[in-house]
Amino acid sequence: MTDGLSFPELCVPAVSRRPALILRPWRAADIPALAAEMSREYPTAGMWPGPDERQARAALPGGARSRTGPAGERAAARWLVSQDRGWRDGDRLSFAVLRADDAGGCVLAGNVGLKNREQTGRIGERETAEIGYWTAVAARGRGIAPAAVRAVTDWVFDAFAGTTLRQIMLVHDVANPASCRVAEKAGYPFRELSPANPPHWLTDGHIHVRGRRAESQPL
């Protein structure tokens, strides 16, 4: 990690129904909330795949038991270790997204992560990075993911100004219109269809791309 990038903290003010957000690297204290959140959609096929992909996964060796995220506190802890390693090595930069709760504290609202599209090298050493995200079930529908994606995108272009990083790609399943809306609202215009390419990408997807200058106004 370059000095000064190790522990960024991004603040997003509240607007309308969207609460104020704080984005920062994951911490060990987040493990119980992470494990609890993941367990809501995770048990059968993981948190991210859409319905078509779940069927395709079920047909693979390991079937629906193959997992894409933490299954409990021990697995959540392992996932956090890999996110720490990502910050240290500079090749995977993940942010916990927190929102204020009624008691004056913060609760987990989601995740936004960046990696290089080619899966290798530090962010800033390749032209194209890829962004991924999820929002906690109870926090959905309040514009949290678009705001968090926009904040991380602005941060990474700023923090890696002068590097080879030129654009960020956002890929989602065609059967995930909510994610398509996140892309549009975060300033990632649709670029092209991405046909299924098993075993890497099991269903048709949309590729959205944002360059250094956002193509839509902040929400």
Ligand X SMILES: CC(C)(COP(=O)(O)OP(=O)(O)OC[C@H]1O[C@@H](n2cnc3c(N)ncnc32)[C@H](O)[C@@H]1OP(=O)(O)O)[C@@H](O)C(=O)NCCC(=O)NCCS
- Site pattern 182..211 for ligand X (x: CB under 6 A): x--x--------------------------
172 lies in the site for ligand X, by CB under 6 A: yes
Tell me whether residue 5 or residue 71 sits nearer to ligand X (CB atom). 71
Tell me whether residue 96 or residue 145 sits nearer to ligand X (CB atom). 145
Q: What order do you get walking across the sheet with 106-116 strand by strand?
A: 10-12, 21-25, 92-100, 106-116, 128-135, 167-173, 205-211, 190-194
81 lies in the site for ligand X, by CB under 6 A: no
- Site pattern 33..52 for ligand X (x: CB under 6 A): --------------xx----
157 lies in the site for ligand X, by CB under 6 A: no
The residue written with tokens 């957000």 in the block is 21
User: Minimum distance from CB of 39 to ligand X (Å)?
Assistant: 14
- 18 three-class SS: strand
d(CA 189, CA 207): 9
Distance of alpha carbon 60 from its chain centroid, rounded? 25
Is-contact 122 87, C-beta < 8 A? no
- Site pattern 104..133 for ligand X (x: CB under 6 A): -----------------------------x
From 22, 106, 108, 144, residue interacting with ligand X (rule: CB under 6 A): 144
From 32, 43, 72, 141, residue interacting with ligand X (rule: CB under 6 A): 141
- 17 three-class SS: coil
- 149 three-class SS: helix
The interaxial angle of helices 177-185 and 144-159, nearest 10 deg, is: 50
User: Minimum distance from CB of 63 to ligand X (Å)?
Assistant: 21
From 34, 108, 145, 209, residue interacting with ligand X (rule: CB under 6 A): 145
Is-contact 210 183, C-beta < 8 A? no
From 87, 134, 155, 157, residue interacting with ligand X (rule: CB under 6 A): 134
Strands 167-173 and 128-135 turn out to be parallel
Number of Cβ atoms within 10 Å of the Cβ of 88: 11
Amino acid at site 86: G
User: Minimum distance from CB of 6 to ligand X (Å)?
Assistant: 26
Residues at the contact surface with ligand X, assessed by CB under 6 A? 47-48, 133-135, 140-146, 172, 176-179, 181-182, 185
